[in-house]
Amino acid sequence: MRVVVIGAGLGGLSAAAHLSKAGHEVTVVERDAIPGGRAGMIREQGFSLDNGPTVLTMPNLLADAFAAAGADMADHVTILPVDPMYRAVYHDGSTLMVRHGRDAMAEEIRSFANADEAAAFERFCDWLAKLYRVEMEHFIDVNFDSVLDLVKPWRAGLELLRLGGFGKLDKKVASFFSDPRLQQIFSFQSMYAGLAPYEALALYAVITYMDSVEGVYVPVGGMHRMASGLAEAVVESGVTIRYESPATRILRSGSGAVSGVELGGDERLAADAVVCNVDLPVAYRTLVGGVEAPRVARRGKYSPSCLLWVAGVRGTPPPEATHHNIHFGADWKGSFEALISDGSRMPDPSILVTLHSLDDASLAPDGCSSIYVLEPTPNLDGRIDWSAERERIAADLRERVAGLGYPTDVVVERVYDPLDWEAMGMERGTPFALAHTFRQTGPFRPNNVDDRVPGLVFTGSSTLPGVGVPMVLISGKLAAARVDRYARDTAIVRW
């Protein structure tokens, strides 16, 4: 089957790898000059600056995509563990090093807090592992055809209930840890799902498992290298990638089925199936004529966005800095209420500072550093006028980073706010898509197929299974499985 994949992001590349393995004729069309989509890279004046995801977990899922392309990941990209995975700096001045490895982290907690909290961490890890095993097989790495599919694995559902997966995340974490600082470091991951810990279901602690138990990693050469390496592998497997080839319309036959993709407004590329890695609601609005996006995509709750400052700077970080540094603000719950409920800026923002060049000197010239700073902000449904407030908020963020001791003598920089994310094709100006409320997860999330447009399959964070590098890689595999099924079904009809 001839398949066109729109977008060489991680979801599109993962889909291309699995489609190639299944024997399909695959062409990937990408609007930019490089692969990666949101996992992009800025190269300027000797700096290599990632401007997309900065935390890599579950590298085995990336290795699976390489294997689908018939390649060994180690031949294309080197993945190294990050240790400490995070340096957590709290408002009271205390610091916790989040270590790579369960035993090392238990010892860290023992010295940071006490032996009871270290023992609680061991129990917490056991609980997370059970949660992950139930969710991955039955609710994450699976295509849903209807809501009924949610109850078919009823034993898994009962196990999830027994584990407390349908309670609130903050309360579940607090049932293990009495120290509020540990509660924060093991629940902040709910932000990746677009939710505050007090509103997220405990089942989303599966993200904490991927992060705190399986560990955090980094590709040598920067996060973008996982995309460029995977692009190399799929090309070697026989896939064609056409860069600077923006898709302007998904073509359809008289029956409504896809028939190809229009490129640049004038070229037509024939296809029997199309995998779309464009943000799903944006794809419906701009590429699929006459078909409205699912209701949840149009009226659902979208995740908060972020202000991202990436820069190449003169100078080196303070000696206590690590690869990933989380600086927690003073009012934990109040910050979430401002961000999510009020649509305003956190009064005392918690920020992530990543220093890729700290562990990879090739990313910055001698005596210089790369710096990546992320502050969660409301998306465009919020109350901030970014056209008026952008410069003030960005300047305030730079000033805070400098006050924390990081170098800020800028050589190269880029600032991305919600208006920039929207201009890059992200609904509501958020790179984190629909929030993972229960009613926007699994079979309730916009599906990766639409009966109204046979042959069209979606991949990426706005469809199944959801947000984050691991989920997007899985989404590519699930999309390829959909194409395989469509190929079988249409072959039966044609026969």
pLDDT tens digit sequence for 336-364: 999 999 999 999 999 999 999 999 999 99
Which string of DSSP letters, residue by residue, matches 120-179?
HHHHHHHHHHHHHHHHIIIIISS--SSGGGGTSSHHHHHHHHHTTTTSBHHHHHHTT--S
Residue 165 covered by a domain: yes
Rounded to 5 degrees, what angle do the CA atoms 477, 483, 486 make? 145
pLDDT class for 415, splitting at 50, 70, 90?
Answer: very high
User: Can you tell me the mean pLDDT for 322-333?
Assistant: 95
356 and 420: one domain?
yes
Pairwise CA distance, residues 493 & 395, whole Å: 61
User: Can you tell me the mean pLDDT for 460-478?
Assistant: 97
Residue pair 240/28 in contact (Cβ under 8 Å)? The answer is: yes
User: Can you tell me the mean pLDDT for 8-37?
Assistant: 98
20 and 125: one domain?
no
Pairwise CA distance, residues 202 & 96, whole Å: 23
- CA dist 243 → 2, 12, 83, 246 (Å): 18, 13, 36, 8
244 and 327: one domain?
no
Residue pair 254/472 in contact (Cβ under 8 Å)? The answer is: no
Q: Helix, strand, or coil here: 351?
A: strand
416 and 485: one domain?
no
CA 165 to chain centre: 22
* pLDDT of 492: 57
Residue 323 covered by a domain: yes
Other beta carbons within 10 angstroms of residue 271's beta carbon come to: 24
155 and 10: one domain?
no
pLDDT class for 148, splitting at 50, 70, 90?
Answer: confident
Pairwise CA distance, residues 214 & 100, whole Å: 8
Pairing label, strands 305-314, 368-377: antiparallel
Residue 92 covered by a domain: no
Total domains present in the chain: 3
pLDDT class for 494, splitting at 50, 70, 90?
Answer: low
User: Can you tell me the mean pLDDT for 198-210?
Assistant: 95
Peptide bond into 347 cis (omega under 30): no
315 and 423: one domain?
yes
pLDDT at 476 > cutoff 60: yes
Q: What percent of the chain lies above the pLDDT cut of 70?
A: 99
Residue pair 17/233 in contact (Cβ under 8 Å)? The answer is: yes
End-to-end CA distance of the chain: 15
Residue 94 covered by a domain: no
The enclosing H or E element of 397 equals: helix 386-403
* pLDDT of 144: 94
Dihedral angle, C-alpha 193, 97, 405, 410, nearest 10 °:
-50
292 and 341: one domain?
no
Residue 83 covered by a domain: no
Tokens found for residue 483: 């194409």
Residue 460 covered by a domain: yes
Residue 202 covered by a domain: yes
pLDDT at 188 > cutoff 50: yes
Average pLDDT score, the chain: 96
Pairwise CA distance, residues 245 & 248, whole Å: 9
Pairwise CA distance, residues 288 & 206, whole Å: 34
Structural domain for 471, as ranges: 2-37+58-78+221-300+436-494
* pLDDT of 149: 84
368 and 466: one domain?
no
Give the residue from 382, 403, 428 where a domain finishes.
Answer: 428
Pairing label, strands 324-327, 305-314: unpaired
Pairwise CA distance, residues 415 & 413, whole Å: 7
The enclosing H or E element of 394 equals: helix 386-403
Give the residue from 193, 214, 235 where a domain finishes.
Answer: 214
The enclosing H or E element of 252 equals: strand 247-252
Q: Which of the residue ranges 147-156, 171-180, 294-303 would you say has the lowest mean pLDDT?
A: 147-156
* pLDDT of 146: 87
Pairwise CA distance, residues 5 & 234, whole Å: 12
307 and 296: one domain?
no
316 and 398: one domain?
yes
Residue labelled with tokens 């709290």: 90
Exposed/middle/buried for 295, CB within 10 Å: 0-12, 13-18, 19+? Answer: exposed
* pLDDT of 495: 43
What does DSSP assign to residue 447? P
Residue 284 covered by a domain: yes
Q: Helix, strand, or coil here: 324?
A: strand
CATH code for position 313:
3.30.519
Pairwise CA distance, residues 61 & 65, whole Å: 7
138 and 190: one domain?
yes
User: Can you tell me the mean pLDDT for 67-93?
Assistant: 97
Pairwise CA distance, residues 173 & 15, whole Å: 35
- CA dist 455 → 181, 201, 225, 251, 488 (Å): 49, 34, 31, 11, 12
> Which residues lie closer than 8 Å to 399 by C-beta, 6 or more apart?
none
335 and 421: one domain?
yes
Give the residue from 383, 408, 428 where a domain finishes.
Answer: 428
Bridge-partner residues for 252, per DSSP?
A: 258
CATH code for position 31:
3.50.50.60
